[in-house]
Structure 1
Amino acid sequence: MGLKYSNKINKIRTFALSLVFIGILIMYIGIFFRDYPVVMVIAMILGLLAVIGSTVVYFFIGMLSTRAVPVICPSCEKPTKVLGRVDACMHCDQPLTMDRSLEGREFDETYNAKKQTTNHHKA
């Protein structure tokens, strides 16, 4: 069995969704401190900030996904988006690249790093 790769857009969306649930959980915990209004208000504010943070992350990934290149996955033949030099299919996690110089190489997410990119062009 090979390594499991995941799509960058899906990773960020999962993080944003977890922020929503964490924020709601923090606010729910704040309800148990009704006898201590200061603690309850702090929990409510922290929970609200987590939910607002998730909104910001969702907005960010929405803007970022407009830069992603839409492609058809050669493995599952479903439409997906490639963000950066290397990415994985949103549906089947097939490693994908738009850079012809990386075709046939072992999938490595460090190819997206700016340092790696500059070193690659010098070689």
Structure 2
Amino acid sequence: MAKYSNKINKIRTFALSLIFIGFAVMYAGIFFRTSPIIMTIFMVLGLLFIVASTVVYFWIGMLSTKTVQVICPGCGKQTKVLGRVDICMFCNEPLTLDPSLEGKEFDEKYNRKQKDGSQTRES
């Protein structure tokens, strides 16, 4: 079975990694102290990674306000569902709000849209 995680947590982890990448790029700029132009380029590039992280955190915060909050049947804690299928943030229980997907094997492809605009449905 593949390792799945909650979509909101995936995006937050990506934003956190952008911060660390930004600091690493800025730190790499210190090795070019003899060339102020190259050092400045590294510092600005690192700053851009950190600004991108801020934008991603803001975006997921806004998206998080539009999610549906449900009580997980597995652990009994309140969690958020983003899309047709998602995973509980606490116990990794597969969750769905679509009655046609109940009892089916969990697959993240249920959230993808097809080319004609409809969402994928498997019978």
Which structure shows the bigger proportion of residues in helix conformation? 1
Q: Are 1:87 and 1:109, in contact at CA under 8 Å, matched by a contact in 2?
A: yes
Change (3 A) 1:119 1:26: closer
With normalisation by structure 1, the TM-score equals 0.92
Q: Could you say which residue in structure 2 is the equivalent of 1:33? A: 32
Report 1 or 2 for greater relative contact order, CA contacts < 8 Å, sequence distance ≥ 6: 1
Question: Which amino acid in 2 is paired with 1:21?
Answer: F
Task: Map 1:1-123 onto structure 2 (within 5 A).
Answer: 2-115=1-114, 117-120=118-121
The 3 A distance-change label for structure 1 pair 36 and 83 is same
What residue identity is the alignment partner of 1:114? K
- SS, match of residue 80 in structure 2: strand
User: What CA distance in whole angstroms lies between the structure 1 residues aligned with 2:17 and 2:89?
Assistant: 18
1:4 Cα shift? 2.5
1:32 partner SS: helix
Which one-letter code corresponds to 1:20 in the other structure? I
Distance 2:87 2:49 in 1: 28
Unaligned runs of 5+ in 1: none
**Alpha-carbon distance in 2 for matches of 1:52, 1:45:** 10
Q: Contact (CA 8 Å) 2:74, 2:93: kept in 1 or not?
A: yes
Q: TM-score, normalised by structure 2?
A: 0.92
Runs of 4 or more off by more than 6 Å in structure 1?
Answer: none
* Structure 1 letter corresponding to 2:78: P
For structure 2, the residue ranges without an aligned partner over 5 or more in a row are none
- The answer as to whether partners of 2:111 and 2:120 remain within 8 angstroms in 1 is no
Count of residue pairs the alignment pairs up: 121
Q: Could you give the per-residue CA deviations for residues 62-107 of structure 1, whole angstroms, max 9, x where no partner exists? A: 1111111001111111111000000001111111000011000111
